[in-house]
């Protein structure tokens, strides 16, 4: 597969609601900052609400030819949106997700330990996500922190593109890339008090070139 962008932006509905920002507004800021890989995550919304948010993002990125849009968890909704999907271990397995979304759509899978990394590497997933790298407040049921050493171990175990997630900020992102990640997934790190998300995203894009 083609190389992943360094910044993997996650539009998390809960985080955006807390910040008082709409999904569409956030998506526009990401687009204008040069972000080309976006995941939409709405853990509490109904299918209709999730699809409405996805449609807002689709409309914003409609004219961006190289944009890749990903749905978190929900393979069925990814199919309806025409997007790729990122699955965790409580979701469909990558092989089952592939049957749903079809060929040509990106599939990613979350991992938290070496057993899961090995399974992901052997699966049809297009990329492997490892984390949480650092402590994070975005997920309440988070797995143990793997640290930069966990990123290095994951890098040694797979030749697939490696996405690191969890507590990644503008200040520590380069260290994660240096540890072997191809891309850093950022959620709350894009929503900083007193700063526009587009400015923060542009700083990430520029710093991680």
Write out the chain's pLDDT in tens, 209 residues: 679 999 999 999 999 999 999 999 999 999 999 999 999 999 999 999 999 999 999 999 999 999 999 999 999 999 999 999 999 988 999 999 999 999 999 999 999 999 999 999 999 999 999 999 999 876 665 689 999 999 999 999 999 999 999 999 999 999 999 999 999 999 999 998 889 999 999 999 999 98
Q: Tokens 């397995």 map to which residue?
A: 93
Q: Which entry of 110, 123, 183, 188 is annotated as an active-site residue?
A: 110
Q: Which entry of 6, 28, 41, 98 is annotated as an active-site residue?
A: 41
Task: Output the pLDDT for position 1.
Answer: 62
- Beta strand pairing call for 37-41 and 84-87: unpaired
At 8, is the secondary structure helix, strand, or coil? strand
Whole-model pTM: value is: 0.95
Task: Output the pLDDT for position 139.
Answer: 63
Measured CA to CA in angstroms, residue 149 lies from 11, 152, 179 at distances of: 27, 5, 7
At 175, is the secondary structure helix, strand, or coil? helix
C-beta separation of 133 from 145 below 8 A? yes
Residues in the chain: 209
Runs of H (alpha helix) within 73-189 = 75-81, 94-101, 114-122, 147-157, 173-178
Known catalytic residue at 22: no
74 Cβ contact list (under 8 Å, min separation 6): 47, 50, 85, 91
For residue 175, what are its two tokens?
Answer: 């260290």
Sketch the domain layout of the chain as residue ranges: 7-207
Measured CA to CA in angstroms, residue 107 lies from 28, 82, 122 at distances of: 24, 13, 13
Measured CA to CA in angstroms, residue 123 lies from 77, 126, 157 at distances of: 21, 9, 13
Task: Output the pLDDT for position 90.
Answer: 86
Q: Which H or E run contains 69?
A: strand 68-72
Task: Output the pLDDT for position 39.
Answer: 98
Task: Output the pLDDT for position 138.
Answer: 66
Distance between CA atoms of 185 and 44, rounded to whole angstroms? 20
Q: Which entry of 139, 152, 196, 207 is annotated as an active-site residue?
A: 139
Domain 7-207: give its CATH code. 3.20.20.70
For residue 187, what are its two tokens?
Answer: 């959620």
Known catalytic residue at 202: no
Task: Output the pLDDT for position 201.
Answer: 98
Tell me, rounded to whole angstroms, the distance of Cα 197 from its chain centroid: 16
Known catalytic residue at 139: yes
Task: Output the pLDDT for position 82.
Answer: 97
């Amino acid at each position: 597969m083609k190389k992943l962008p360094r910044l993997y932006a996650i539009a998390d509905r809960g985080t955006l609601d807390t910040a008082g920002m709409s999904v569409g507004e956030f998506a526009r800021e990401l687009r204008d900052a040069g972000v080309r890989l976006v995941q939409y995550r709405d853990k509490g919304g109904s299918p209709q609400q999730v699809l409405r948010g996805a449609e807002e993002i689709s409309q914003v990125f409609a004219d961006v030819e190289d944009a890749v849009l990903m749905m978190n968890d929900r393979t069925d909704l990814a199919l309806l949106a025409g997007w790729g999907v990122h699955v965790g271990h409580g979701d469909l397995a990558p092989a089952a997700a592939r049957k749903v979304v079809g060929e040509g759509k990106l599939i990613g899978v979350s991992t938290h330990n070496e057993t899961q990394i090995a399974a992901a590497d052997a699966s049809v997933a297009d990329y492997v996500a490892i984390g949480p790298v650092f402590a994070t407040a975005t997920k309440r049921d988070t797995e143990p922190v793997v640290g930069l050493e966990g990123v290095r171990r994951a890098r040694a175990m797979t030749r697939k593109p490696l996405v690191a997630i969890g507590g990644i900020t503008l200040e520590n992102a380069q260290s994660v890339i240096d540890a072997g990640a191809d891309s850093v997934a950022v959620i709350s790190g894009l929503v900083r008090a007193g700063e526009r998300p587009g400015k923060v995203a542009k700083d990430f894009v520029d710093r991680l070139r």
